[in-house]
Structure formats: C-alpha cells, structure tokens
Amino acid sequence: MLAAIDAQSRTPKWRKDGGQFVPELATWLRNRCWLDDTGTHVAVDWWNSIDGVKAMGERLGMVFSLAALGNAYTDDEQNAHWRRYRTGVLLAAGAGPWSERRIA
C-alpha cells in the first residue's frame, strides 16, 4: 500500500491544482485504490532486467536519462552512469529480494 501511495502521489491526478487533491483515506481503502493503475507497469522481478529497473525508477520518480553525460560520452562512462542509476533505484526501493544480492 505504501508503494501505491508513493506511485499515485506522483500522478497528475494527485498533483492537480498544485497538489490540493488529497483522497479520503476511508474511501481510498474501501475502493481498494492501491490497485489502481498508475501507468507505470513494473514486473514482479523488476530488478533482473534493464527495462524493469527503469520502470521501477519511473515509479519512484527517478527517470533514467543520459543527459547528464552531455552529447559525447564513452561506453565506459555510459556503463558507469547506468550502474549509478541502478544502484540508486535499488536503494530507493528499500528492502526486498533485490537488496539481498550485491548491488554493484
């Protein structure tokens, strides 16, 4: 449920009118709103694939981008950038099966 609140709080619906929309907790629970689709689909074993890590990153508000590297970068720089991003997503996701493995 906490992951759903986190993901839903990043959607345009929750940010409407400068973030004025706050759902009524009882209604949110009664309607099982934690199951609502936020548009970001994350696989059950998301940490095992590049697309899964990127999807979880988006859900957490951490969109992957190479913009920080500028227009010219080497493969080594791109790989290092990816490793930093992946590590950040794994740490931000909290404890889980992905944290039982070596992060680097």
Number of domains in the chain: 2
Residue 42 CA: distances (Å) to CA of 3, 19, 52, 63, 72:
12, 25, 6, 14, 31
Q: 34 and 70 in one domain?
A: no
Q: What is the mean pLDDT of residues 63-87?
A: 92
Q: 48 and 9 in one domain?
A: no
Output DSSP code: residue 48: G
Q: What is the mean pLDDT of residues 38-55?
A: 79
Q: 48 and 27 in one domain?
A: no
Q: 48 and 17 in one domain?
A: no
pTM as predicted: 0.59
Domain range spanning residue 78?
Answer: 43-104
Q: 74 and 48 in one domain?
A: yes
Which pLDDT band holds residue 37 (cuts at 50, 70, 90)?
low
Residue (of 99, 97, 70) closest to 87 by Cα position: 99
Q: What is the mean pLDDT of residues 58-64?
A: 86
Q: 82 and 34 in one domain?
A: no
Residue 102: per-residue pLDDT: 54
